Amino acid sequence: MYEEIINKLSKNDRRAVARSISNIENGDSDADILLQEVASKVGGAYRIGITGPPGAGKSTITNHLTKIYIKENKKVGIVAVDPTSPFSGGALLGDRIRMNEIGQYENVFIRSMASRGSLGGLCKKAIDAADVLDAAGYDIVILETVGVGQSELDIAQAADTTIVVLVPESGDSVQAMKAGLMEIADVFTLNKSDRPGADQAETALKTMISLKYHDENTWLPPILRTIASENKGINELNKEIERHEKFLKEKNKLLPKREEQMKIRIRNIVQEKLNDEIWHSGNENFLNSSLKNVTLGNISPYQIAEEIIINYKNHK
């Protein structure tokens, strides 16, 4: 059965792609098997991460970039991650609707994923979905996420090139995540750059970047100015993405980068699996029956945690 799906995936059967991603999203028990099969087919796609604060214009940029790729006859898979949605009840729905336009294209596949469980779980699933798209032969896979929590880090850890989208007035929130953005950004885009404050924002970014240690082997993130709503600056943005891809390949940095990312990913998979497994068997009941005693201070939560782990290890 899986061979069939894999077969269909490689032929870019859209329904097979959609169903596979649904399996992953629902956490179906057979999703793991699917992903094991998919694993041998990945590596062909170039992965672009797009992140930034809410309302910065990420979807609009994704939209226009995608149109460029379509013209180049490339197939584009888009996974849009909304880590805020259990809170917002779909605040980003508007963006999704706007994106439906490019969703009409034969060579574009869009999937948006919203948080049901943990943030980490969501990002893990998004990366799995990217694998499916990669295996299905998409040339470009775009992972888009609102930079909330550490979703921007998680997504950057799955992208070959990460674009951080800011707006002139991002000021404060950028301040708070400065160094973090410096870590992940391969390209900065100052969107809505016709708004006041663009010059100051660019200067601030430039200063940050210049402070970063660098030699001739270091990629220093360029700062682009875009007005995505008017499709301004998107070609230049695409040029910078291409330049970064070329840099990674020529300097033999792409594979090592992907290996580093794989390391983090496997660690996350292990953590999630463990967490799934451990609450099976009698541990859930044991936990529930201990709560009163722990809360009253008769036993320490650490003791209970210890026992739960021992139970788990002894169980088969």
Question: Footprint of a copy of itself on residues 82-111 (CB under 8 A)?
Answer: 84, 86-89, 91
Question: Residue 16 or residue 146: which is nearer to a copy of itself going by CB?
Answer: 146
Decide whether 235 or 303 has the Cβ nearer to a copy of itself.
303
**Cβ closest to a copy of itself, residue 35 vs residue 237:** 35
Between residues 68 and 148, which has the closer beta carbon with respect to a copy of itself?
148
119 binding a copy of itself? (CB under 8 A): yes
**What is each CA distance from 126 to 100, 242, 286, 287, in whole angstroms?**
19, 23, 33, 31
Q: Which residues, 40 to 59, sit near a copy of itself by CB under 8 A?
A: 40-43, 54-55
Q: Tell me whether residue 86 or residue 197 sits nearer to a copy of itself (CB atom).
A: 86
Q: Residue 315: what residue type? A: H
* Residue 265 beta carbon to a copy of itself: minimum distance, rounded to whole angstroms: 6
Looking at residues 183 to 242 of the shown chain, list those that interact with a copy of itself (rule: CB under 8 A): none
Q: How far is the CB of 230 from a copy of itself (least distance, A)?
A: 22
Q: Which is nearer to a copy of itself, 97 or 274 (CB)?
A: 274
Binding window for a copy of itself (CB under 8 A); candidates: 171-179, 190-198, 203-211, 218-226: 171-179
Q: Which of 68, 93, 148, 227 binds a copy of itself (CB under 8 A)?
A: 148
Q: Does 302 bind a copy of itself (CB under 8 A)?
A: yes
Task: Provide, rounded to whole angstroms, the least separation between the CB of residue 305 and a copy of itself.
Answer: 4
Site for a copy of itself in 237-296 (CB under 8 A): 255, 258-259, 262-263, 265-267, 269-271, 273-275, 277-279, 287-288, 290-292, 294-296
Q: How far is the CB of 239 from a copy of itself (least distance, A)?
A: 27
Is 236 or 286 the residue whose CB approaches a copy of itself more closely? 286
Closer residue to a copy of itself (CB): 239 or 263: 263
Q: Nearer to a copy of itself by C-beta: 88 or 238? A: 88
**Which of 176, 194, 249, 280 forms a contact with a copy of itself (CB under 8 A)?**
176
- Residue 88 Cβ vs a copy of itself, minimum distance, rounded to whole Å: 5
Q: Which of 1, 207, 215, 313 binds a copy of itself (CB under 8 A)?
A: 313
- HEC readout, the chain: CHHHHHHHHHCCCHHHHHHHHHHHHHCCCCHHHHHHHHHCCCCCCEEEEEEECCCCCHHHHHHHHHHHHHHCCCCEEEEEEECCHHHHCCCCHHHHHHHHHHHCCCCEEEEEEECCCCHHHHHHHHHHHHHHHHHCCCCEEEEEEECCCCHHHHHHCCCCEEEEEECHHHHHHHHHHHHHHHHHCCEEEECCCCCCCHHHHHHHHHHHHHHCCCCCCCCCCCEEECEHHHCECHHHHHHHHHHHHHHHHHCCCHHHHHHHHHHHHHHHHHHHHHHHHHCCCCHHHHHHHHHHHHHCCCCCHHHHHHHHHHHHHHCC
Counting beta carbons within 10 angstroms of the beta carbon of residue 121, is it exposed (0 to 12), middle (13 to 18) or buried (19 or more)? middle
Residue 39 interacting with a copy of itself (CB under 8 A): yes
In the complex, the smallest distance separating the C-beta of residue 255 from a copy of itself, rounded to whole angstroms, is 6
Query: The sheet that has 140-146: what strands, in order across it?
Result: 108-114, 76-82, 140-146, 46-52, 161-166, 187-190, 223-225
Whether the Cβ atoms of residue 115 and residue 122 lie closer than 8 Å to each other: yes
